[in-house]
Amino acid sequence: MKKKRPNNFPLKIMSLAVAILVWLIVVNVDNPVISKTYIISNVELINKQYIEDTDKVCMRDDEQTPVRVTIKAERKTLSRITAENIQAVADAQQAVSLETNPVMIPISVTCPGISQNNISVQPQNMSVRLEDRATAEFMVTVNSGEGTPGKGYEIGSQVVSPEKVRITGPKSMINKIDKVMVNVDVNGITEDVTDTENLTIIDKNQEQFSEDSMKYIGMDNVKATVTTKLWKVRAGVKINVNYKGEPADGYVVDSAVTVPETVSVAGSEEALDELKVMGNTIWVQDEKSVDISGAKKDVEEKVNIAELLSEGLKLTSGSSEEVWVNIRVLPEGGKIFTIPATKDSVRFKNKADDLQVSFEIDKMEVRVKAVDGDIEALSTDDIKASIDLSDKEEGSYEVPVKITLPKGYELIEDVKTEIKVSKVSTITEEK
């Protein structure tokens, strides 16, 4: 007689259910569904042409709110996702309206292996500003900075190509442009050089356009080529002064001098050769001549020496373009004598023993005329000069100089000079 097998089918079902339950518990404990938020710094704006076709420039707000993307998925899945896996774009064609300012453009986010239902983004829109597009043309200027060529050379000319550049961008930015520069290094060069460098846009505050601003700027050329030609320097070039007219009756022209007496110029070889033929002299003449008609005293005038230079010459850097021209006018029989401003030539009276005196100038002019005698018979040795230091303490002074002349001569005008009075320095030797 066969034994009847027990019916354990319900037990098997129960065991399976328990196994599934345990598996679900384990899965949910070890690999639960969670959410993670990522910060996306780069949201790509696509289809910008849609806006640009309206002759507008699309610009992002300077302070764009960071985009936070939240993804819901299993922990293991999220552990493999980084911000680089997430693509965020804003499609300009999806703009709600181009009539508002700012314009709101929806942000779309995708991530491989993640459904759109499990992705959320904040903010949901990119804020952009629209501005009229403008185009302007600017001359390209060359900036050599503070660099200087090698000794004996100056920059003669700098030719830049292209000479002009067209710039397109937001109207507000175009209006801020002051100039377009190309920077070249000329420090220490002793021969002609050609450089190709990036163009730089400078605003009206003399600041360079930022990288962010340059994103919205278009240029028909981004580089320029500069050819720098060097000129040789020649120092000690004299200045010769012509004058026109005649002084008043009883007066004569003693001399014509300039301050400075010489200048340094730079020039091409041809121009320097021509200058050498002229005795290395610049002539102040023609319309630049000083008019002394009817003068009874010196005539002093500023003359722009740069305007007198021939083509191919220029004053060296740092030189003043103007010189003082002094036409010295004296009574007939008058003459100018020069006395060195030294203690050997000038006597000090009433100087305290604890004081010392130094001159602030190198020489003094003494104007003398002959009343009864020959002015040419008078020499500087015959002229005696003294300074009274009564009541003078430490300090700088402009003081009168007493001039004593031989009989038959008289002083045309008073003489003054600048001195510095200081304490005599004493050194005590330690025993």
Asked whether residue 225 carries a pLDDT value surpassing 80, the answer given is yes
Residue-averaged pLDDT of the chain = 89
Architecture of the 232-331 domain? Beta Complex (2.170)
What's the mean pLDDT in 211-225?
93
Asked whether residue 9 carries a pLDDT value surpassing 80, the answer given is no
Asked whether residue 96 carries a pLDDT value surpassing 80, the answer given is no
Check residue 65 and give its pLDDT: 77
**Of the options 3.10.560.10, 2.120.10.10, 2.170.120.30, 3.90.550.10, the CATH number for the domain spanning 334-423:** 2.170.120.30
Check residue 32 and give its pLDDT: 87
Tokens of 223: 């580089």
Q: What is the CATH number of domain 133-231?
A: 2.170.120.40
Q: CA angle at residue 308 from 140 to 314, to 5 degrees? A: 45
What's the mean pLDDT in 238-250?
93
Segment 50-79, tens digit of pLDDT: 888 888 888 887 666 789 999 999 888 888
3-state DSSP assignment of residue 269: helix
Check residue 244 and give its pLDDT: 92
pTM of the model: 0.63
Segment 365-424, tens digit of pLDDT: 999 999 988 899 999 999 999 999 998 889 999 999 999 999 999 999 999 999 999 998
**Domains in the chain: boundaries:** 33-123, 133-231, 232-331, 334-423
Is the pLDDT higher at 199 or at 23? Answer: 199
Query: Quick one: how far is CA 362 from the chain centroid?
Result: 37
Asked whether residue 324 carries a pLDDT value surpassing 80, the answer given is yes
Are both 232-331 and 334-423 of the same fold? yes
Contact 415, 366 (CB under 8 A): yes
Distance between CA 86 and CA 395 in Å, rounded?
A: 79
Contact 350, 266 (CB under 8 A): no
Q: Which of 113-117, 138-142, 205-209 has the lowest mean pLDDT?
A: 113-117
